[in-house]
Structure 1
Amino acid sequence: MRVIIVGAGEVGTNIADSLEEDHDVVVIDRDSDRVESITYDLDVLAIQGDGTSIETLQRAGLEEAEMVIASTDGDETNIVVCGAAKTVGDPFTIARVKKTNLLRTWEGATNAFGVDFMVCTDLHTAQTVVDIAGLPDARDVDSFADGLVRMAEFEIDPESPVAGETIAEADRFESLTFAAILRDDDIVVPKGNTVIQAHDAVVVIGSVESVREFAGGLTPTPTLEQADEIVIVGGSEIGYQAARLFEAEGLEPRLLERDHERARELAERLPETLVLESDATDIDFLVREHVDDSDIVVAALDSDEKNLLVSLLAKRIGVERTLGIVEAGEYVDLFETVGIDVAINPRVVTAEEITRFTREQRTENLAMLEHDRAEVLEIEVDRDSLLFGNRIRNVTSELPDGVVIGAVTRGEELITPRGETVLELGDHVVVFVDTDVLDEVSAAL
C-alpha cells in the first residue's frame, strides 16, 4: 500500500525504514537537508514541502494513499495534516502528539480532528519507564495477548547466576520460553545445550509471573513490587505521567522539581507522590534526602545532558538502578555505556508504537528489538495459516532458522508451547522472528 509520512525527523525516518520493503512509502518534510538525507539512505520517495498543504499531499499521491502518518514535532501540525488528508480521500490517519490533553480529547470524541489513531509520545514513554522499572535489569519490555504474555530482554551481568549456565540449566520456570540470545551482532536461537554468556542479551517470553521470577533471579535488585523508594527527577510531562502510573501500581514515589509553580501544581495533581522542590544536581541535597537509599531513579529533565548528570550522580551516591530519558537517538548507546542503566528514547518508542498499526491485520501486536534486528509478533490463528491444526514441532520444521514460538493463549488460558502442542483456530501465538526471515515467516503464518 501507499503510505505518506509527514515529517522526516527521527520518528518519521524510523517508520519509513520499517516500511520501505513492503510498502510504497512517500516522505514529506520542509527541510531540504532531511529530504536529501532520507533520499540517499532509504528506498523511498522524499518530497520537500509543507505537509499541511493539500497541493503537497496530492503531489505525494494522496488519492492513492491508504495511510497517512503525521510525525512532525508539532502536535497541531500533525492534527492539521490528518484533517487535510481526510478532505481529499479516506486514508487511515495516524497523528503523533506530545500533549496528553489532545489525546484525552481525541479519545472522548468519535473521529475527532480527522485522526483515526493517536499516539501520545509522553504518555507512551512514561508507560515504557514503568514497564522497564518493573523488571530488574530489563532493557526492553512488552505485553501481548491482553496482558497474559510478557516479553522482556535482559542483559546478563558477569555476576548473574545464569551466566555460564546452559539454557536447560537456566530453564527453571513453569511457563517461560528462552526465545533468543542477542550476542554481539548475532542472533542465536537457543537450544538446551546453548551456554548463556556474560554480556549476552537474553529474550524471554512467558507469563507475567514467570518473567518476573526470572528477572528476580538475575540480580538482587528489587522488582517494582519490592521497591521501597522510587525517585523521579524532573516534573516534565513524562515525569508527571510516570509518577501517576507508579501511583496506579500502588506505589508512593518521590518527585524532584526545581520550579516552584510546577512543583506546587504537581503536588496537587499527585496525591500519593511526595513532591520536593529542589535542584537535583545538588549532591548534598540528594544525600540529605536519602536518595542514595532509592531502588530506582528516573531522570526526566528537559535535557539529555542533565539526565546523564543526574544518573551519574545517583550512581555515585549508591542508587541501585537508573533510567534516563534521552531525546537524541544517537546518544542512547553512549549514555548507557557511561552511566545510565537504561536510556529510553521517546522518538524510538513512538515510532515502534506507530509501526504496529502498519502491519497486516492478522498481526495483533508487535515489538521491535535491538534496532529492528528482530521482532516479536502476536498472530491470531486463522484457517489460512500454517499454524492452524498443526503441531508446533511440525510448524517450526517448515519455517526457516531464526523463528521461535514463545507463547500461546487460548481464550484467557496461557499455554506453554511444546513440540506436541496443537494450535487451534483463534489461538493467539507470540512468535520471535529474526528480521532477515520476517517476510517469509509473515507470509506463512
Structure 2
Amino acid sequence: MKVVIVGGGKVGEALCIDLANSCDVVLIDKNQAVVENIFDQCDIQAVLGNGTDVNVQTEAGVKDADIFLAVSESDELNLVACIIAKKLGARHTMARVRNPQYSESVDFIKRSLEITTILNPEEEAAKTISRNLKFPTALNVESFAGGKLNIVELELEKESVINGLSLTEVGKNLGSPLLVCIIEREGKVFIPSGSCCLMAGDKIHVLGDNEALAKFYSMLGKSKKPISSAIMIGGGRVAYYLIKRLLQRKVDIKIIETDLERAKFLASSFPEITVINADGTDQDVLEEEGIGNYEACIALTGIDEENVILSVFAKHRGVNKSIAKVSRTSMLKILGHFGIDSIITPKSIVSDQIIRFVRSIIAADNSPVEKLYRLAGRRVEAMQFLAGDDLKILDTKLKDLKTKENTLIASIQRGRDLILPNGESKILPKDHVIVVTTQENIISLDDILV
C-alpha cells in the first residue's frame, strides 16, 4: 500500500511514524529540517518541494499512490494538492481543512473536487470534548455504534464500592450488560478476565450502552447528569465548533477571549452566549467572571502550559469538570499527576481518524475499520469493524476461536441489536464488531486470529 503525505507538521509526522511499518510512505515537504527530523524517527522516502507542484508530485510517484493525504497547515494547499493528485492517478485522497467557512460546504467540496474525504482537526476535537461533557466524572469517552455504545474511562477511588470485587461480581451486582475491557494499573495495561479483581487507583475503561452506564455510575455513587454550564478560555476554532454543539444541548456558555475582534465575531455569531473580552489566564478575571459557579472549565488557548494551569486552577475553585487542550504529546506523560479530568490532543485525534481511513481502504473488500480510538496512553486500540462475507472468523463460536494475546471481542451489533458476546456467540456477515487489543497493525477482523 503506497501512501503519499503532504506536510510534515505535527499531524504529518505522527502519520509517517504510524504508517511506516505497514505502508510504503512518501513525504512531501519543502522544509529540509522537517524531513530530516522525520527521517530520524522512521523509515520513509521524501521529496523536497511544494505539494501543489505537479513535478514534485510526479517525482513522489503520486500516480501509483493508493492513498494521498494532504495535511499541511494551509487548507487551500491541501485542497489543490488533492485535486492534482487525483488527476495524476491517486486512488483515494484526503484533505485536512480547518476553516469553518469550508466546513459548512464539505459535501459539495468533496463531490466537486473528487476528494474522498475531508477532515477537520478542530471540529473532531470539539466532538471529543462534547462527548466528555456528557459524562462529567469520566476521564475520556469514546463512542461506537452510532452513539449507542460508549467506552468510558474512570479512575477508581480508595472508597469505591467495587474495590476488591472481581469483574464477574461487578457484573452480577449491576444486573446490566457492561464490560470492563481495559485496566491500567501501576503503569501497565492489560485486557482483564472475569476473575480479575479491581483495585483503588486502577484506571478502567468500561463499555456499555447509556442505560448500563447510568446504572454503573449509580453503583459508584457518581452523577451521570450531563454538564449544563461551561466557561471556556480561548475562542479559537475548537471553541467555535464546540459552542455550536453545546448550544444544541442548551448548555449555558461563557467564553473569555483576549482578542477584541475575535470576541466580537463570537458574540455576533452566537448571541445566546456570554462573551468577555479579557485575558482569561488572569486569575482575577476568572474570579470576577465566577469560574467556580460553572460545572465545566474548558481551556482552549494556543499555549499548552496555560491550558494546564487554567484547568488546575478551575479544579481548585470547585469546578466539577476540567478539560485542557494540549498540542504537544510529549507533555502527556507528566500531566496525569496534575488532577486534570480530561486532556484533548487534536493531533492525536486527527491522526487516529486518518489511520482508520487508511485501514478501511486496505480492508475495503473484507472488514473495513469504521471506528478507531487509541486508549490508555495510545497503548490499546479499540476498533469497530464491519464484517465482510469472506472471513475466517465468521460463524464460529467465540470460545473456539484462537485469538491473539490481550485481544477482546467486546461487542457485536447485529441490525438494531447490541450484543455483549459470550463464548457461545458468533460473528456473522454485516455485523459491526468492536475489538479491543494491545496488538498493533490490526487491519482486518481476521488479523486478531493467531
- Could you tell me the TM-score, scaled by structure 2's length? 0.90
**1:5 alignment counterpart:** 5
d(CA) in 2 for partners of 1:355 and 1:58? Answer: 24
**1:398-437 to 2 correspondence within 5 Å?**
398-436=402-440
SS at 2:164's partner residue? coil
Instruction: Using the TM superposition, name which of 323-332 and 109-118 deviates more.
Output: 109-118
| Aligned residue identity for 1:94 | M
Question: How far off is 1:409 after superposition?
Answer: 1.0
Aligned counterparts of 1:30 and 1:370: Cα–Cα separation in 2: 35
| CA–CA distance in structure 2, aligned partners of residues 78 and 109 of structure 1 | 12
Deviation, structure 1 residue 48:
2.8
Q: What are the Cα deviations for residues 362-414 of structure 1, in whole angstroms up to 9, with x where unaligned?
A: 2222212245422112122233223322222223xx11221111111111121
Letter in 2 for 1:182: E
**TM-aligned CA distance change 1:384 to 1:95, over 3 Å:** same
Which string of whole-angstrom CA distances, capped at 9 and with x for unpartnered residues, describes residues 268-305 of structure 1? 32244233333323333433433213221001123223
Give the C-alpha shift of residue 110 in structure 1.
4.6
Q: Which residue of structure 2 aligns with residue 366 of structure 1?
A: 372
Which of 378, 390, 393 is the equivalent residue of 2:396?
Answer: 390
Alignment-derived partner of residue 315 in structure 1:
315
Structure 1 residues 434-443 or 297-306, which shifts more? Answer: 434-443
Quote the Cα distance in structure 2 between the aligned partners of 1:158 and 1:281. 33
Residue 316 (structure 1) shift: 2.7
Q: How does 1:216-295 map to 2 (within 5 A)?
A: 217-218=219-220, 220=222, 222-223=223-224, 225=226, 227-295=227-295
User: Could you tell me whether the CA contact under 8 Å between 2:407 and 2:439 is conserved in 1?
Assistant: no
Render the CA deviation track for 1:309-368: whole Å, top value 9, x for unaligned. Answer: 322321232222210111222223334433533221111111111111001222222212
Structure 1 CA distance for aligned equivalents of residues 444 and 106 of structure 2:
37
Between 1:98-107 and 1:115-124, the stretch displaced more is: 98-107
The partner residue of 1:178 within 180, 185, 208 is 180
How far residue 217 of structure 1 moved from its aligned partner, in angstroms, is 4.8
Q: Could you tell me how far 1:126 is from its partner in structure 2?
A: 0.8
Partner of 2:299: 299
Distance between the aligned counterparts of 1:371 and 1:271, measured in 2? 39
Query: Higher mean Cα deviation, 256-265 or 414-423?
Result: 256-265
Residues 235 and 114 of structure 1: CA distance in aligned 2, closer, same or farther (over 3 Å)? same
The whole-number CA distance in structure 2 between the counterparts of 1:47 and 1:216 is: 56
> Is 1:40 aligned to residue 40 of structure 2?
yes
Equivalent AA in structure 2 for residue 151 of structure 1: I
CA–CA distance in structure 1, aligned partners of residues 201 and 446 of structure 2: 30
Q: Which runs of 5+ in 1 are unaligned?
A: none
Cα distance in structure 2, aligned partners of 1:188 and 1:350: 25
Letter in 2 for 1:367: Y
Q: 3-state DSSP class of the match of 1:338?
A: coil
Report the counterpart of residue 63 of structure 1 in structure 2. 63
For 1:86 and 1:20, the matched residues in 2 are separated by 23
Once the two structures are superposed, the pairs formed by residues 112-127 of structure 1 within 5 Å of their partners are 112-127=112-127
5+ long unaligned stretches in structure 2 = none
Asked if residue 376 in structure 1 is aligned to residue 378 in structure 2, the reply is no
Deviation digits for residues 56-92 of structure 1 (CA, Å, limit 9, x no counterpart): 2222221211110011122222112212212211421
**Which amino acid is 1:32 matched to?**
Q
For residue 204 of structure 1, what is the amino acid of its counterpart?
Answer: V
Equivalent residue number for residue 203 of structure 2: 201
Aligned to 2:23: 23
Distance 1:215 1:36, change over 3 A: farther
- Identify if the C-alpha distance between structure 1 residues 33 and 199 changes in structure 2 by more than 3 Å, giving closer, same or farther: farther
Query: What is the alpha-carbon distance in structure 2 between the residues aligned to residue 164 and residue 293 of structure 1?
Result: 36
Q: Shift of residue 435 of structure 1?
A: 2.0
Query: Could you say what secondary structure the match of 1:199 adopts?
Result: coil
Distance, in Å, in 2 between the alignment partners of 1:62 and 1:29 is: 14
Q: 1:135-154: per-residue Cα shift (whole Å, max 9, x none)?
A: 23433322222222222333
Q: CA separation in 2, counterparts of 1:271 and 1:25?
A: 47
* Matching of residues 82-121 of structure 1 within 5 Å: 82-121=82-121
Percent of paired sites with the same residue:
28
Q: 1:29 to 1:219 in 2, by over 3 A?
A: farther
- For 2:269, the aligned partner's letter is R
* Number of aligned residue pairs: 441
Task: Give the drift of 1:249.
Answer: 2.1
1:439 Cα deviation (Å)? 6.2
Could you say which residue in structure 1 is the equivalent of 2:325? 325
Asked whether the 8 Å contact 1:206–1:407 carries over to 2, the reply is no
- d(CA) in 2 for partners of 1:307 and 1:79? 31
Q: Distance in 1 between matches of 2:102 and 2:113?
A: 10
Give the SS at the match of 1:206.
strand
* 1:41 to 1:187, Cα distance in 2 relative to 1, 3 A: same
- Tell me the TM-score normalized by structure 1: 0.91
Which position in structure 2 is the counterpart of 1:14?
14
Distance verdict in 2 for CA 1:217–1:51, change over 3 Å: farther
Equivalent-residue separation in structure 2 for 1:201 and 1:6 (angstroms): 37
Quote the Cα distance in structure 2 between the aligned partners of 1:56 and 1:410: 47
Q: Secondary structure at the match of 2:73?
A: coil
Does the 8 Å contact 2:68/2:90 carry over to 1? no
Question: Which 4+ residue blocks in structure 1 deviate beyond 4 angstroms?
Answer: 215-219, 439-442
| Higher alpha-carbon deviation: 155-164 or 71-80 | 155-164
Deviates more, 1:125-134 or 1:41-50: 41-50
Q: How far apart in 2 are the matches of 1:46 and 1:218? A: 52
Specify the code of the residue in structure 2 equivalent to 1:156: L
Counterparts of 1:224 and 1:31, CA distance in 2 = 49
Report if the CA contact (8 A) 1:323-1:342 is conserved.
Answer: yes
Equivalents in 2 of 1:441, 1:423: separation in Å? 10
CA contact (8 A) 2:228 2:250 kept: no
Q: How far apart are 1:239 and its partner, in Å?
A: 1.2
CA contact (8 A) 1:137 1:155 kept: no
CA distance in 2, matches of 1:109, 1:47: 28
